[in-house]
Structure 1
Amino acid sequence: MEKKPNRLAQESSPYLLQHAYNPVDWFPWGPEALQKAKAEQKPILVSIGYAACHWCHVMEHQSFEKEDIAQIMNQHFVCIKVDREERPDVDQVYMDALHAMGVQGGWPLNVFLNSDAKPFYGGTYFPPQNWVQLLQSIADAYTKSRAELDSSADQFVQHLQQSELAKYGLQQANATFTPEGFEQMFASLSRRFDLKRGGTGGAPKFPMPSIWRFLLRYYHHSQNPAALEQVNLTLEEMAFGGIYDQVGGGFARYSTDEEWLVPHFEKMLYDNGQLLSLYAEAYQVTRNELYQQIAMETIAFVERELTSPEGGFYSSLDADSEGVEGKFYVFTQAELTELLGEEAALAASYYNTTEAGNWEHGVNILHRHQTDEAFAADQGMTLEEVQAHAQHWKDTLLQARAQRIRPGLDDKILTSWNALMLTGLVDAYRAFGEPKILELACSNARFLISHLKQGNQLFHNYKEGKATIDGFLEDYALLIQALLGMYQITFDETWLKEARKLTEYTLTHFFDPEEDLFYFTSTAGEQLIARKKEIFDNVVPASNSVMAMNLHFLGLFLGKERYSSLSDKMLSKVRDLVVQEPSHLANWASLYSLKLKPTAEIALVGPEAHSFRNLLQQHFMPNALLVGTKEENSSTLPLLEDRTAPNGQTTIYVCYNHACQLPVTSVAEALDQVSHI
C-alpha cells in the first residue's frame, strides 16, 4: 500500500522529514496544532527527538509506523513532532516537566499535555505494547478524570515557572571569588575522577569538554600536577578509544561502557567543536603531538563530511546505517585482512582487533591501547615506521568505508553549533598556526553573519536557503564568543563590532534585570507556558555562563565597565552552587578562574603585529586578550589608543587593571610579563 505524506512533509528538519510518511497525523509545533487541541478539547502528545537518535528510530519503527497504533494516536490525541535541535526551547520546558514528574530524562521524549499545552504525564522510550496501554489509559483518564489531570498540569506549570535561582536557594548574591573557593571546586571534581580510564564516573561516559577545559585553567592557575594528570589520562584514553573514529577522525557522542570502547556511534557537531578546543588547548599546555593529531584529524572529518558548499557546518551523522548501529564504522577481521594484506597482522596488534571480534556479531571497533612510541618499542620498529604504517591503514580503510552505505546526515545548519565549531577552529589556529584552519574559520564566520543574521537579530537554523526560527540565547552567546576569538586571530575589528551589536541585542531582548541573568528566549519570540533561564552547564555550556564570560572580555576590549560589572553580578548569583557543584557548572568555574587575577590586556602595534600575535597565541593564556594593529592610530579600540611603535619597531604593551608594564619589543619579554601577573 502506498504511504501518504502527513504535514511533516512540508518541514525542512531531517528529523521531522523522517516521520513524514508515518500513518500518525503528525503536526509540527505551532499554532495550528495548539488551536486544534483547544477547539476539540483533546489531549496533546508532544514527541521530541533528533535525527541521529537511535532509540527515536526504534520507537518510530515499532510504533509510529504501525497503522493500528497510529489509529489510536490519531483518534484520541493531537500529535506533535518536535526536533529538539530546532526547538531547544520547547524541549527544555517539557524536559523540565518530565524531571518534575520524577522521571529520568532522555530522547525520545514523549509528553502528554492538556489542551492548554500544560503537561500532566510523560516518559521516554516505550515498547509498542506498553505504548498502546499508555495511550488508552490516558485517553480514558482524560475523558473521566479531566479535572484531576488539569489540576496536576497546573501544579507542574507552577514548578516550571519558578525561577532557577529560587529553586536552588540562590537569591542572595555572593561576590567573593577566592582561591579557597577555587580549590574547593577541584576537590569536589577530583572525588568523581576515574583514575584508571579518565573521565568522571562509570558508564555511560560523556566527554564533557567543559570539565577538562576548566581543569586546564585550574592547572594554569595552581600548577597542581594532579589536575594535568587527569586531563592527560582522559584525553589519551578518549583518543585511543572507540569513541574516537580511528579511521576518519572525529568523536561519537558518548561511550556506552566505562573504557571508552563502544560508542553510541552518532557524531554531533557540538561535541566535535568543543573537543577540538579542548585538544588544541591541551596541546598548548603539553606539546603532546597526539593532541595535535587528534585535532587535525577532527578538522579533516568536519571539512570532509559536515561542511556545506556555502561554508556552514551540518548538524550530525546518524549512529545507524542500513538500520544497524555502527555498521559504517566497524570491520570483521576477514575484511581487514582483505584490505590490508600482509600488514593486517600488524594492524590487528595496533587496533586490537581479533578473529572473534571485540564487539557484537563478530565485528571489531578499532581502538588503541598504547602510544605510537610504546607500540614501536614493542614491535622493534622506529616511530616513523609505525606512523607511516598507521597513516597507510587509515587511508586504505577510509577509502574502503567510502564505498559503504553512509549513515544519515542531518543537514540542517544551526547557529549555536556552528559557533562552537568556529570557536574550535579559532582555538586550533591559535595552537597550530595552520593557514588552512584560518581559511575554514573565516569562511564559516562569513557564512553565519551573511545567512543567519538579519539586522542585529539572529536566526537559529538554516537549510536550503531559508532561516525560519528566531535565535535563542545560545545562538547569540556562542556566536559572540566565536567572534571575540575571530577578532583575536585576525585583528579584523569587524568581528568585534558584530559581537558588540549582538551583545546589545541580547541585553534588550533577553535580559532580566531583576535577576541579572538572561532568558533563553527573546521577548520577541514565541511565548511558551514557561520562560526559562539556562544556568547549568551540560554537554553544551549554559548560555548564561557563556554570556557572562563574553561580557567579561567585551568589557575589557571596549572599555565598558557595565559589561564587566554585569559579568561579576551574573557569576555572583550562582557562585555558591559553582563552588559546591562544579561538575554541573564547569564553564562558570572557568569564568571564576578569570576573576582570581586581573586579565592581561596585550596590545601589539607595528608592522610585525600579526606574526608576533601568532607566536604569542601558541601559548596557553586563558586569562589574557590580544588586540593589535600594524599601523599606529588606525584603531578605535580603547586598548590601542596612544599606542605607538617607536622607530617603526613592533612594540608589545602588557597591561592589567588599567596599569601597564614597560613596553617591550619581543614575544619572550611579553610572555615573561604575563607570567608575573
Structure 2
Amino acid sequence: MIDVVNMSSSTMNHLKNEESPYLIQHASNPVDWYPWSKKAFEKAKKDNKLIFLSIGYSTCHWCHVMEKESFSRDDVAKVMNEKYVSIKVDREEMPDVDAYFIDFANRVAGNAGWPLNIILTPDLKPVFPFTYIPRESRYGSIGIIELLNSIHELWTNSPEEIFRKVEENEKLTVNKIPKATSYKNENLETLAYNQLKSSFDRSYGGFGRNMKFPSSHIMSFLSNYYNIYKANEALEMAETTAAAIRMGGIYDHVGNGIHRYATDFGWKIPHFEKMLYDQANFIMALSKLYTATSKKQYIDIINEEIEFLRDKMLSPEGGYYSAIDADSEGVEGKYYLWTSGELMRMLGEDYTKFASTFNVREDGNYIEEPKGMSNGKNILYVENEKNYTDKFNKNGFFWLDEVIKQSLGKLKNARERRVPPQTDTKICGDINGFLLYSLSEAFSSTNDKRFLKYAEDLYNFLSNKYVKNGRCVHLIYPSGKTISGYLSDYAFLSMGFFKFGFSTANNQAIDNAKEIADQLYLKLNAERDTIMNENRSAFIGTLNSQEDSSIPSQFAVYERTQLYANMAGQYNELINLSTSETVENITKYPSYFTFRMETEMERKNSILLKGNYNEIDDLIKIRENLADKGYSSVYFERDDSLKSNTYSLCNSAACVLNGVNFESILNYLKSQKK
C-alpha cells in the first residue's frame, strides 16, 4: 500500500479519504482531483465546467510519468483547477466506467490505453479521448497546458462546436441491443483458425509484427482446435508462441512470471508490469497445451508461474493481489535489469557461459522506450527464433544446466536486496475468479494434485470472503470497505466456481456457481437496455466491446458460464448480449472472439459424468482413461443416488445414459464417434 502518513491533510485534494492505491498516489497532487462521485458531477454542472477524467491504475508506468511530469506541477494544476473539474478513476476499482470509456476511445480515436484521459461535458457526454499527454509539446504531440487551454477556449467561445463533436461521437458509439439478434456458429472456429494462420509470426510466434501481448486465450483456442480437428498447424502456432514467451525477455528468468507485453515483435524487450490476469491467462493456455501434448515442460512452467504468484502476489488471507509495478525508485525496469559489470562480479568464471546463454552485452541489450537507445543494461532472454523454439518444444529447457540454474539463484538473491516495485494489494473478485478457473484447468488437464491444493485454497478464500448467497464482492479494502460486484465479478467467479466444482466433483462449489449465475442472469436481464445505473456509477459495461482483449471478454465468460450452468441442470434463457454490430464482427472476424469460439467447441465435445465418487483418485483414473481415448473435456458431479461404479453420462442438454457401468459409457462414446 502507499504510505500516506507524511501527507499533510491541508495540501491534499478530494482523494484524501480514498483507499485505492492509485487514487492515493494522486491525493497530494496540486490538481484538485475528485473521485468519480455525485459531488464532482454537481460541481461541473453548477460551474458549467468541462470535466477532465483520468483513468489509470497504480502499477501503470505511463500513469506514473504523467503524474510526475504534469499532475505534480503547479502550472498544470492551475489550468486544470481554474478551467476544469478533474476526476480520477482507478480502472480496477471501477471496471465498468473504464470499460465504457475504453470502448469510446477505441471507436472515436481508433486506439486506447492507460492513462486514459477523456474530456467530458458537464452532463458527462464524452468529447475528446487521449492517452498519455506530454507536459510540453514534442514529437508532434501537443502539451497538456496548450491542449487544455485550447479546449477551454473552444468551450467558452464556441460551445456549439463541442456539442457538434458530441453528436458525431454518438453516431459512432450508440449501439443499442436489438430484441433478437444472434449469429450462426457454422464453421466460425475454422474461420478463426484460418485468420490466425494469416497473421501468425512464423519466426517468433504470436500474431502480427509489432508490439506483442501474450493473449494466452488464443493459445488455448488453438490447442483446443487441435484436440478436436487434429490440425497440426494450430498446435504449432500455440507451441511456438508459448515457447517464444518463455524464452524471451517478456518472461522473468530470475523470479518467474510474465510481464505485461513486449515492445518488440521478438518478445525481447518487456513493458515490466506484472498483472495477475496475465498470469492466470498463461496458466490456462499452458494447461491446454499439456492436454494437447502431454509435454512435461508445460507442467514445469505452470509450477514456475504458481511459485511466482505464491511468492509475490499471495495475500496472507488467501487471495491474490492485482498487479506489480513496472517501476522501482522511479525508473521503469530498474529491478529487473543488469549491467555486465554487475554480472561479472557476481558470477565470476560462470559469467561467460551465462552471458552467452542470455545475450548479455557489455554495452547493454535493453532498448529504452521511447528513446530507442540502449541504457547500458541488460534484460535476460534466450534466443527464441523458430529453430530455438522448436528445440524447446522437443527437449524442454535445453539451456538450463546446473551452472545456469546456480547463476540464476545468485541473481535472485541479489535482486531481493534491491528496492522492489510496488505491489497493488487490491484483491479483485473477477481476476481471482479467473485464476481459480485456470488453477482448476491446470489440475483437470494434468491431474497434478499440487494444482488441486492451490485451487482448493483459492476457492475456500473466495467462497468465504467474496461470495454470499450468490452475491459477489468486487474488492474488500483493509479498512473493511467493500465494493459490491460488477458484471465481470459475477461472470468470472461463476465460471471459476463451476470449473472448480466440475473438476473435483465438488457439488457445493457447483451449487454456489449456480447461485452466482442466477444473480448474473437477473442483473443482465435488468440492465441490458440501459447505460445508466444511478446506484453504482454513471455507466455499466453491457454495451461495450465484446471482443477478447488481454483476457476473455466478460460476455464470452458469461456464455461459458451459461454452458456450465446448463450442464449442471440450470436452464436460464441465454440473454442475448450481441448487438447487430457484434454479430457482424463475430461473423467476419471470429479470431477476435476466440473464447466464444472455444465455448462452442466445448458445447459440442464436453461430457459430464455423474457418479458416487469417494476419492479424487477416482476422478483422476477415469479422466486418464478417457483422455487416452480422445476425450479431453470431462467434468464430474457427485450423485449419491447412484450405486458404486455406475455412472450417468450427460452433456449440456440432457443426460443420455443413467446408472450404467463404465464399459457402457465407453461403448456409447465410441458409437457416437462413428
Q: Which category of TM-score, normalised to the shorter sequence, fits these structures?
A: 0.7 to 0.9
Match of 2:175 in 1: 162
Residues 131 and 241 of structure 1: CA distance in aligned 2, closer, same or farther (over 3 Å): same
Aligned pairs for 1:372-387 (under 5 A) are 386-387=400-401
* SS of residue paired to 1:221: helix
Contact 2:297–2:396 (Cα < 8 Å) also in 1: no
Q: 1:238 aligns with which of 237, 245, 249?
A: 245
Residues 667 and 69 of structure 1: CA distance in aligned 2, closer, same or farther (over 3 Å): farther
* SS of residue paired to 1:590: helix
CA–CA distance in 1 between the matches of 2:241 and 2:252? Answer: 16
CA–CA distance in 1 between the matches of 2:112 and 2:396? Answer: 50
Contact 1:215–1:231 (Cα < 8 Å) also in 2: yes
* SS of residue paired to 2:500: helix
Aligned pairs for 1:592-611 (under 5 A) are 592-595=600-603, 597=604, 599-607=606-614, 609-611=615-617
RMSD across aligned positions (CA): 3.3
Contact 2:521–2:575 (Cα < 8 Å) also in 1: no
* SS of residue paired to 1:585: helix
Shift of 1:189: 1.9
Residues 574 and 138 of structure 1: CA distance in aligned 2, closer, same or farther (over 3 Å): closer
Structure 2 letter corresponding to 1:581 = Y
Shift of 1:674: 9.8
Shift of 1:576: 5.4
Shift of 1:113: 1.1
Matched, 1:479 2:493: yes
Q: 1:204 aligns with which of 198, 208, 211?
A: 211
Stretch of structure 1 that moved more, 425-434 or 292-301: 425-434
* SS of residue paired to 1:191: helix
Shift of 1:123: 1.2
Q: 2:620 aligns with which of 600, 614, 621?
A: 614
Q: 1:109 aligns with which of 105, 116, 132?
A: 116
Contact 1:473–1:520 (Cα < 8 Å) also in 2: no
Residues 236 and 671 of structure 1: CA distance in aligned 2, closer, same or farther (over 3 Å): farther
Shift of 1:465: 4.6
Contact 1:552–1:567 (Cα < 8 Å) also in 2: no
CA–CA distance in 1 between the matches of 2:530 and 2:264? Answer: 36
Match of 2:655 in 1: 658
Q: 1:451 aligns with which of 465, 488, 505?
A: 465
CA–CA distance in 1 between the matches of 2:555 and 2:150? Answer: 40
Q: 1:577 aligns with which of 573, 578, 585?
A: 585
CA–CA distance in 1 between the matches of 2:634 and 2:330? Answer: 49
Match of 1:640 in 2: none
Stretch of structure 1 that moved more, 567-576 or 469-478: 567-576
Residues 143 and 576 of structure 1: CA distance in aligned 2, closer, same or farther (over 3 Å): closer
What are the Cα deviations for residues 466-506 of structure 1, in whole angstroms up to 9, with x where unaligned? 34323111111110111011112332211111111111111
CA–CA distance in 2 between the matches of 1:108 and 1:382? Answer: 39
* SS of residue paired to 1:363: coil
Contact 2:250–2:260 (Cα < 8 Å) also in 1: yes
Q: 1:23 aligns with which of 25, 30, 44?
A: 30
CA–CA distance in 2 between the matches of 1:368 and 1:384? Answer: 10
Matched, 1:132 2:145: yes
Q: 1:173 aligns with which of 170, 179, 182?
A: 182
* SS of residue paired to 2:363: coil
What are the Cα deviations for residues 119-152 of structure 1, in whole angstroms up to 9, with x where unaligned? 1222111111211011111222221122332343
Contact 2:19–2:477 (Cα < 8 Å) also in 1: yes
Matched, 1:362 2:370: no
Matched, 1:219 2:229: no
Match of 2:638 in 1: 628
- Normalising by the residue count of structure 2, what TM-score does the alignment of the two structures yield? 0.88
Contact 2:497–2:510 (Cα < 8 Å) also in 1: yes
Contact 2:507–2:638 (Cα < 8 Å) also in 1: no
Match of 1:538 in 2: 549
Match of 2:74 in 1: 67
Match of 2:298 in 1: 291
Aligned pairs for 1:262-341 (under 5 A) are 262-341=269-348
- Normalising by the residue count of structure 1, what TM-score does the alignment of the two structures yield? 0.87
Structure 2 letter corresponding to 1:659 = V
Match of 1:644 in 2: 643
What are the Cα deviations for residues 404-440 of structure 1, in whole angstroms up to 9, with x where unaligned? 0001111111111111111121122223444443333
Structure 1 letter corresponding to 2:119 = F
Contact 1:459–1:469 (Cα < 8 Å) also in 2: yes
CA–CA distance in 1 between the matches of 2:227 and 2:37? Answer: 48
Match of 1:253 in 2: 260
Structure 1 letter corresponding to 2:598 = S
Shift of 1:519: 7.8
* SS of residue paired to 1:85: coil
Structure 1 letter corresponding to 2:643 = T
Contact 1:84–1:90 (Cα < 8 Å) also in 2: yes
Contact 1:174–1:573 (Cα < 8 Å) also in 2: no
Tell me the matched-pair count: 644
Match of 2:139 in 1: none
* SS of residue paired to 2:196: helix
Shift of 1:6: 1.7
What are the Cα deviations for residues 284-308 of structure 1, in whole angstroms up to 9, with x where unaligned? 2112222222111110111010111
Residues 149 and 115 of structure 1: CA distance in aligned 2, closer, same or farther (over 3 Å): same
Shift of 1:192: 0.9
Q: 2:93 aligns with which of 86, 96, 111?
A: 86
Matched, 1:149 2:162: yes
Shift of 1:391: 3.0
Contact 1:161–1:531 (Cα < 8 Å) also in 2: no
Contact 1:654–1:670 (Cα < 8 Å) also in 2: no
Matched, 1:589 2:589: no
Match of 2:417 in 1: 403
* SS of residue paired to 2:29: coil
Residues 518 and 273 of structure 1: CA distance in aligned 2, closer, same or farther (over 3 Å): farther
Q: 2:235 aligns with which of 228, 231, 235?
A: 228
CA–CA distance in 2 between the matches of 1:520 and 1:490? Answer: 39
Matched, 1:431 2:445: yes
Shift of 1:230: 0.8
* SS of residue paired to 1:101: helix
What are the Cα deviations for residues 539-589 of structure 1, in whole angstroms up to 9, with x where unaligned? 12111111111111211222x3x34x6289979996653342122111111
CA–CA distance in 2 between the matches of 1:332 and 1:464? Answer: 39
Structure 1 letter corresponding to 2:146 = Q
Residues 536 and 267 of structure 1: CA distance in aligned 2, closer, same or farther (over 3 Å): same
Contact 1:473–1:521 (Cα < 8 Å) also in 2: no
The percentage of counterpart residues that share the same residue type is 30
Contact 2:211–2:261 (Cα < 8 Å) also in 1: yes
Residues 528 and 557 of structure 1: CA distance in aligned 2, closer, same or farther (over 3 Å): closer
Residues 367 and 668 of structure 1: CA distance in aligned 2, closer, same or farther (over 3 Å): farther
Contact 2:466–2:474 (Cα < 8 Å) also in 1: yes
Shift of 1:277: 0.9
Shift of 1:518: 9.0
User: Gaps (5+ residues) in structure 1?
Assistant: 634-642
